[in-house]
């Protein structure tokens, strides 16, 4: 049976919508009243030059139906971002309901993530994709069990490639988890969408944040913008000011690193030329222009802490993926050269930007970074013993950690976990990371967090939510953790 394109497209939508995933039993196509509140099946409109693919299926009588399905190009990072939206929204599983125009079963989920013009099925997804080898799997590829189930691959969970992280639409709702390869049971084969655009599959391109406190009741938040500028906003006694764009004679990227000294703020950042930059505010002058801080190449955002009034300890990752250190004095300038740190530095490799925190009397520093397998690395320095060895503290997080202290030798660590949930770890002395278990607050955060304690009785943590808005979570000794508070888009209101 041959149909004209418009009729074939309409019939194909109905046939696809009617195909029940497990076993392929056909049911009646969903009517508008059974597609879920405000959601219905949609033939997604594409630009005139969007490629199409001929997809065939069968109707209830067994007749073959052929139609052209829009198969637009999509990057790997966009696939992962789109998949994550259903997980964040906790979209319920159904073989008859629709969300955003796509059927809310496993193949409708993949169709949505791939931006297809129709919700295909596990019988037809292989017509817009091609087989690949296990070792070729990249973010956005799929593991398909024909006429049964399908999941979206994100990344390997172990070096042996026996487990992986995936997105899938499965009862009761869209989920993100680690599972054995290729699945718990059944025959699953890896496929790649025919029109995928190669990128690194990383979904967080938003620059990060930094926060400091100049006094009790006072917070300063700094945010890098996508065009390479730095914005600043202050809260004083609970009243937020406007966002100011600081002098922009230099362009920066990544997460800024701010630190406060008496009457002075210094913000370090990675320039777009991968050299370190610094901008300074003083109570007597205001903001100075950006200063170049040397020709040394850094491959991550910096971290800063301070052990005495005029000293700033600066950390970054270099081109050899080592965490390096240099001391800066606000009066004398640089007082040391860049150097590797840790007794076992030669055997330790970092995969992200560091975090650092010093105790109040300057006798101890703790430095943290992400290992290549996603675990947390920690390193201690003491005035008496100098640098210790790097230690692996486990876990599996994304981006960079943040560290702050409420007093004494205590350290609070905050992380964006591998599933983008918010994690808190605490040590009473910077060395014991086992007595107090990690706290997983769940949720979804879009950037690595930044934290500060304005007193021993309070912690403020900032990050961005799935809409890229600034959000804050506060702990007080009297009430514990509060719910997230929203602070709107970065840059609004502008000064």
Give me the residue spans of the domains in the chain. Answer: 5-197, 209-489
> SS3 letters for 138-183?
CCCCEEEECCCEEEEEEEECCCCCCEEEEEEEECCEEEEEEEECCC
Domain at 209-489, CATH from 3.40.50.720, 2.120.10.70, 3.30.70.20, 3.90.550.10: 2.120.10.70
69: Cβ–Cβ under 8 A, 6 or more apart, which residues? 12, 52, 53, 54, 55, 116, 117, 118, 120, 128
29: Cβ–Cβ under 8 A, 6 or more apart, which residues? 13, 14, 15, 17, 18, 41
Q: What is the pLDDT of residues 21-76, one digit of tens each?
A: 333 322 223 322 333 333 445 555 555 567 899 999 876 677 888 889 999 988 88
65: Cβ–Cβ under 8 A, 6 or more apart, which residues? 1, 3, 8, 11, 12, 15, 56, 57, 58, 59
pLDDT (0 to 100) of residue 35: 34
| Cα separation values, 48 from 13, 70, 116, 150, Å | 20, 10, 14, 30
For residue 341, what are its two tokens? 């740190």
pLDDT (0 to 100) of residue 61: 74
pLDDT (0 to 100) of residue 57: 80
pLDDT (0 to 100) of residue 296: 96
> In this structure, what DSSP letter does residue 32 have?
G
Q: Considering the entire predicted model, what is its pTM?
A: 0.66
Which positions of the chain have pLDDT values less than 70? Answer: 1-49, 59-60, 199-206
Q: Which residue has the tokens 């009741």?
A: 217
For 369, the 3-state DSSP assignment is strand
CA–CA separation, 97 and 108 (whole Å): 10
Nearest of 129, 148, 147, 149 to residue 138 by alpha carbon: 129
pLDDT (0 to 100) of residue 232: 97
């Amino acid at each position: 049976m041959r149909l004209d394109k418009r009729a074939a497209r309409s019939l194909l939508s109905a046939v696809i919508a009617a195909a029940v995933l497990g076993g392929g039993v056909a049911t009646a196509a969903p009517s508008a009243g059974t597609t879920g509140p405000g959601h219905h099946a949609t033939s997604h409109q594409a630009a005139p030059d969007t490629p199409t693919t001929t997809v065939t299926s069968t109707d209830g009588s067994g007749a073959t139906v052929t139609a052209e399905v829009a198969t637009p190009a999509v990057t790997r990072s966009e696939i992962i971002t789109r998949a994550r939206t259903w997980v964040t929204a906790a979209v319920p599983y159904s073989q008859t309901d629709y969300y955003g125009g796509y059927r809310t079963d496993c193949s409708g989920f993949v169709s949505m993530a791939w931006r297809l013009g129709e919700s295909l099925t596990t019988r037809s997804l292989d017509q817009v994709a091609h087989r690949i080898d296990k070792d070729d799997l990249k973010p956005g590829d799929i593991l398909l069990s024909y006429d049964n189930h399908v999941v979206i691959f994100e990344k390997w969970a172990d070096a042996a490639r026996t487990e992986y992280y995936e997105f899938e639409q499965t009862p009761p709702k869209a989920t993100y988890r680690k599972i054995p390869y290729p699945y718990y049971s059944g025959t699953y084969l890896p496929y790649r969408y025919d029109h995928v655009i190669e990128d690194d599959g990383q979904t967080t391109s938003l620059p990060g944040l930094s926060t400091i406190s100049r006094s009790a009741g006072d917070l300063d938040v700094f945010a890098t913008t996508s065009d390479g500028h730095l914005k600043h906003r202050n809260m004083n006694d609970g009243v937020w000011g406007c966002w100011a764009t600081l002098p922009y004679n230099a362009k920066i990227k990544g997460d800024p690193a701010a630190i406060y000294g008496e009457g002075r703020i210094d913000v370090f950042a990675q320039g777009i030329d991968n050299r370190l930059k610094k901008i300074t505010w003083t109570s007597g002058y205001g903001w100075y222009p950006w200063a170049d801080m040397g020709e040394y190449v850094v491959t991550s955002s910096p971290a800063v802490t301070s052990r005495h009034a005029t000293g700033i300890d600066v950390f970054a990752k270099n081109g050899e993926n080592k965490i390096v250190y240099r001391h800066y004095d606000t009066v004398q300038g640089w007082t040391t050269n860049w150097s590797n740190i840790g007794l076992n530095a030669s055997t330790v490799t970092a995969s992200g930007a560091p975090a650092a925190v010093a105790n109040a009397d300057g006798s101890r520093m703790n430095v943290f970074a992400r290992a290549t397998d996603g675990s947390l690395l920690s390193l201690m320095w003491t005035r008496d013993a100098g640098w210790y060895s790097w230690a692996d503290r486990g876990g599996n997080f994304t981006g960079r950690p943040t560290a702050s202290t409420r007093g004494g030798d205590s350290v609070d660590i905050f992380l964006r976990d591998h599933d983008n949930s918010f994690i808190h770890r605490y040590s009473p002395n910077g060395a014991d990371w086992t007595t107090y278990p990690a706290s997983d607050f769940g949720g979804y955060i879009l950037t690595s967090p930044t934290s500060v304690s304005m007193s021993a009785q309070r912690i403020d943590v900032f990050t961005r939510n799935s809409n890229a808005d600034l959000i804050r979570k506060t702990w007080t000794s009297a009430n514990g953790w509060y719910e997230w508070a929203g602070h709107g888009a970065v840059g609004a209101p502008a000064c």
